[in-house]
Amino acid sequence: MTDDGITEAGTTEAGTTEAGTTEAGTTEAGTTEAGGVRLAYRAWGAPGAPPLVLLHALGEGAADWDGVAPAFARHYRVYAPDLRGHGGSDWPGAYSVELMRADVLGFLDALGLDQVDLIGHSMGGLVACLLAQQRPERVRALIVEDIGAIQPRAAQVPARPAGELPFDWAMVLAIRGQIDNPDPAWWDRLSQVTAATLVIGGGPASHIPQDRVAELARRIPGARLETIEAGHLVHAAEPAAFTRSALAFLRPG
């Protein structure tokens, strides 16, 4: 569901990881705690490499990045958390994009990541923008994937899918409620973003109005706008094009 708009086994202060190797294509699974919320995450790449954090869309999870993470892991230590209410992370019952932002900041603190490159898709892009504007010193570079400047709209209550879900339905309703009636400060404070920023739109096949994607880019100082005509799920539909554009922008060492 999307919204509108291994290292050696052991335990550390940051949490736990499952055994495996550190090759770029190998996925590690770990957990850590941020502000009393347990966050599950996946990681790829050499532990000493520069950190890159990937934030998923509404109703997705860390595994959504499996198709592109190995390409990034040739240059980075890549982390992808399940945001609260998703997957293996806690489902605490309290949900907002601001709480998710706080969780991600706590995640960075728990893992000792002072400054990161940050990529967010859809809802994850919104969380990334809020983090970059509140704590600009923590984000060196920012990429947001197919998210536009959200405008108020009539409430849209989605029907719950049948069966067991890998996310908390209460979380979906809470986040959708915020997207229906967004806080104007989300966009008013985009001028506070200091990170080099790339906004990637999915083109006309996306359900996100691309003029709003362009508007988001205009509001972030110095942001670059690119289009990859893949629809809303850019990194999933066109992983090679997505990673090529992202790495050309990030220019990792």
> Among residues 125, 26, 128, 111, which one has the least CA distance to residue 74?
26
Q: Determine the Cα–Cα distance for residues 83 and 103; give it in Å rounded to an integer.
A: 8
| Total Cβ atoms within 10 A of residue 144 | 29
More confident residue, 203 or 18: 203
Write down the pLDDT at residue 12: 31
Q: Determine the Cα–Cα distance for residues 215 and 201; give it in Å rounded to an integer.
A: 11
**CB-CB contact of 78 with 69 (8 Å):** yes
Helices (H), 58-156: 69-73, 97-110, 123-134
Over the chain, what is the mean pLDDT? Answer: 91
Write down the pLDDT at residue 156: 79
Direct distance between the N- and C-terminal alpha carbons of the chain, in angstroms, rounded to an integer: 34
Per-residue pLDDT tens digits for 174-214? 999 999 999 999 999 999 999 999 999 999 999 999 999 99
Q: Tell me the CA distances in angstroms from 51 to 44, 48, 111, 195, one per residue in order.
A: 10, 8, 10, 15
In DSSP notation, 180-238 reads HS--THHHHGGGG--SEEEEEE--TTSSS-HHHHHHHHHHSTT-EEEE-SS-S-HHHHS
**CB-CB contact of 152 with 176 (8 Å):** no
Q: Which helix (H) or strand (E) holds 150?
A: none
Per-residue pLDDT tens digits for 97-148? 999 999 999 999 999 999 999 999 999 999 999 999 999 999 999 999 999 9
Write down the pLDDT at residue 15: 54
Q: Determine the Cα–Cα distance for residues 28 and 7; give it in Å rounded to an integer.
A: 7
Write down the pLDDT at residue 18: 46
Residue 7 has pLDDT above 70, yes or no: no
Write down the pLDDT at residue 2: 46
Domains of the chain: 10-250 (3.40.50.1820)
Tokens 């094009």 sit on residue: 241
The reported pTM is: 0.92
Q: Determine the Cα–Cα distance for residues 56 and 60; give it in Å rounded to an integer.
A: 6
What are residue 121's DSSP bridge partners?
A: 145
